[in-house]
Amino acid sequence: MALTVGTAAVGSFLEWGYVGALLWLVALFVVQFFRDPARVPCADEEAIASPADGRIVYVGPARDPFSGLETVKISVFMNVFNVHSNRSPVAATVRRVLYTPGRFVNASFDKASIENERNALLLEDDKGRQLSCVQIAGLVARRILCYVREGDQLLRGSRYGFIRFGSRVDVYLPRGSQPLVAVGEVVLAHATALAHWPPSAQDGVHATP
């Protein structure tokens, strides 16, 4: 970010004309991409919050590729204009971190969930309920950043990672969870309630893979 702004400033100082103006446009794009604004948490304290900004591209049943269990999957696609900072959807302990190398197909395609480079967190709250939260690289994204390790304690809304440029986050919830969003809906990290846990704490709780 500092490099692009510095280059644009040099272009202005040297009066590079249209090239200088183009450099400022690039610098502004980079600055807006790496923004990470404060968020007001969703009012429902019992809800599972969205881990990312973007558009819902999938809500439905799916097998969690990391635990092997049948779950409810909710996928959030982030384009290059969304905030790309990722936040914990619940207050939880990080039970497992699993990085998987892969391809870089368009993250809006569902096959990106199993083919693309990705980083998964298995989170467990204080009631023993678990979910998987998976950062997925996209067509342009070439760098997934994860700031947490196994054993770390996270508050709901804690920043745990960042994906550079267009990408996706999949959330795998216990079977019986109740989605609060629909395909096509735009969501905000920490501010949008994504789903509720199953009515019974024992209904479909993940087993640690």
Catalytic residues: 167
Contacts (Cβ under 8 Å, ≥6 apart) of 191: 39, 40, 41, 42, 49, 50
Residue 49 · residue 189 · CB < 8 Å: yes
Residue 36 contacts residue 85 (beta carbons within 8 Å): yes
Q: Which residues of 7-36 are buried (b: 16+ CB within 10 A; e: fewer)?
A: ebeebeeeeeeeebeebbeebeeeeeeeee
Residues found in the chain = 209
> How many other CB atoms are found less than 10 A from the CB of residue 152?
17
- What's CA 33's distance to the chain center, in Å? 14
Q: What gap in Å lies between CA 139 and CA 137, rounded to an integer? A: 7
CA-to-CA distance for 203 and 99, rounded, in angstroms?
28
Query: Are 28 and 46 in contact, with CB atoms under 8 Å apart?
Result: no
